[in-house]
Structure 1
Amino acid sequence: MLPLAPLLSPPTTEAQLLYQAQRLAGYTLGELAALAGLPVPLDLRRDKGWIGVLLERWLGASAGSKPEQDFAALGVELKTIPIDSLGRPLETTFVCVAPLTGNSGVTWESSHVRHKLRRVLWVPVEGERQIPLADRRVGTPLLWSPDEEEERQLSQDWEELMDMIVLGQVERITARHGEVLQLRPKAANSKALTEAIGARGEPILTLPRGFYLKKNFTGALLARHFLLKT
């Protein structure tokens, strides 16, 4: 492991960002939190985004809650991914909130999903529940862009899901729709409703939805780049 010094300003090149991320590999979340002056929660049930916040601080992310990439000047999105002892993803990966109205004229090329996934810094983190949060180690990072086949898979699923949204079928979409990309409810509670289009074109209220990458997609991605067995 390399000695650490927090990056006080956002990185100005991809190489600088990747180098800083590589320096975090092997450290535990507890060690990084102590060095950054952040308390470690007991678990992630009420602090789901805590690991991302911790790594954003170490890597100098600039976006915060803005609807742009975490490293906007570089066009790079940060995605932490919890893995098991064999390097396999333990859960799906949130991409962005899905627009349920005002979608006329939106294409895959201009979509928020494609914008977010155009360039991603993946940071694997140990995620097995028997490992206390503070003892979980950060893995080797990967800077990734979708290849031609991945882009085809993503665009195909996005178009299918968006067609259903536009045609008023949002309530019929389940997590089983899509080969690599899925649409799921994303809300703090069942009272957080948003506008959508109903089956007859009428306005309805429904739970907000989010786009998520399925584990088969991220698992294959990690396996290919880290030469893991799938």
Structure 2
Amino acid sequence: MKPEPQSEQELLERAWQIAGMSYQQLAEEANMIVPPDLKKDKGWVGQLLEWHLGATAGSKPQQDFENLGIELKSIPISYSGKPLETTFVCVAPLTGVHGLTWENSHVRNKLSRVLWVPVEGEREIPLAERRVGSPLIWSPSQEEEDQLKADWEELMEFIVLGKVSQITAKHGEVLQLRPKAANGRVLTEAYGSNGKPIRTLPRGFYLRTQFTANILQNHYA
């Protein structure tokens, strides 16, 4: 893995250096093998980018570039430049949430400064041939932060009240809460509406595609 970048500028320069390159080219340099597809290797693209950019956090809750306070997010896009899927932010806390505020939440921490790396995501392009796009560094505007905060508070209220099972993908304007598990057998502890512990699927916070599409559009327009 490349050494950790020492500044935001150095990180952005590295991201520009790999823009336009294919996964095959990047994998060869990193001594990695390109999988046939991403069905069993969902995090592979992120790992490839982390290697080239020098990210150190891995799957820990802090930002990928902790010293710089920057999170790395790859974003698969269509031929027209629109995001093809929602963006995972972080795992949602289902216990110990009393007293948690937006200001000290993982979601806000992760999204305070983000290096977005668009990547080709159309399924018909073989994985090895897909290329990395032009990077951008983003922090939420006041309006975006207000939207995120409102959704986070609404979703967390469900969790606090023991109504996690009532949350659907329709809740949240820009941020949604969805099951986040490799399979239906992975369960975690939460609380039911009667205050007693229950077992449920882990949940994750995801950014809706319309929100990330606006980020890209505002930057590249």
**Pairwise TM-score range, normalised by the shorter structure:** over 0.9
Query: Match for 1:105: what amino acid?
Result: G
- Which of 153, 159, 167 is equivalent to 2:161? 167
| Equivalent runs, 1:5-16 vs 2, <5 Å | 8-16=2-10
Shift of 1:88: 0.4
Q: State whether structure 2 residue 209 is matched by structure 1 residue 215.
A: yes
- For 2:11, the equivalent position in structure 1 comes to 17
Q: What SS does structure 2 have at the residue aligned with 1:183?
A: strand
Query: Match for 2:132: what amino acid?
Result: V
Q: Quick one: distance in 2 between partners of 1:97 and 1:65?
A: 10
Q: State whether structure 2 residue 100 is matched by structure 1 residue 106.
A: yes
- For 1:193, the equivalent position in structure 2 comes to 187
- For 1:4, the equivalent position in structure 2 comes to none
Q: State whether structure 2 residue 89 is matched by structure 1 residue 95.
A: yes
Shift of 1:165: 0.5
Deviation sequence 1:172-209 (CA, Å, 0-9, x none): 00111000000000111111111111011111110000
Q: Quick one: distance in 1 between partners of 2:73 and 2:92?
A: 18
Query: Match for 1:104: what amino acid?
Result: H
- For 2:177, the equivalent position in structure 1 comes to 183
Query: Match for 1:134: what amino acid?
Result: A
TM-score when normalising by structure 2? 0.99
Q: State whether structure 2 residue 48 is matched by structure 1 residue 54.
A: yes
Q: State whether structure 2 residue 144 is matched by structure 1 residue 150.
A: yes
Shift of 1:64: 1.6
Q: Quick one: distance in 2 between partners of 1:121 and 1:211?
A: 18
Q: What SS does structure 1 have at the residue aligned with 2:83?
A: coil
Shift of 1:65: 2.2
Q: What SS does structure 2 have at the residue aligned with 1:109?
A: helix
Q: Quick one: distance in 2 between partners of 1:12 and 1:125?
A: 24
Q: Name structure 1 gaps, 5 residues minimum.
A: 1-6
Structure 1 residue ranges (4+ consecutive) displaced by more than 6 angstroms after TM superposition: none
Query: Match for 2:76: what amino acid?
Result: P
Q: Quick one: distance in 2 between partners of 1:159 and 1:65?
A: 24
Shift of 1:214: 0.3
Shift of 1:127: 0.1
TM-score when normalising by structure 1? 0.95
Q: State whether structure 2 residue 129 is matched by structure 1 residue 135.
A: yes
Shift of 1:58: 0.2
Q: State whether structure 2 residue 62 is matched by structure 1 residue 79.
A: no
Shift of 1:8: 2.6
Q: Quick one: distance in 1 between partners of 2:131 and 2:163?
A: 42
Q: What SS does structure 2 have at the residue aligned with 1:95?
A: strand
Matched-pair identity in %? 64
Q: State whether structure 2 residue 120 is matched by structure 1 residue 116.
A: no
Q: What SS does structure 2 have at the residue aligned with 1:211?
A: strand
Q: State whether structure 2 residue 65 is matched by structure 1 residue 42.
A: no
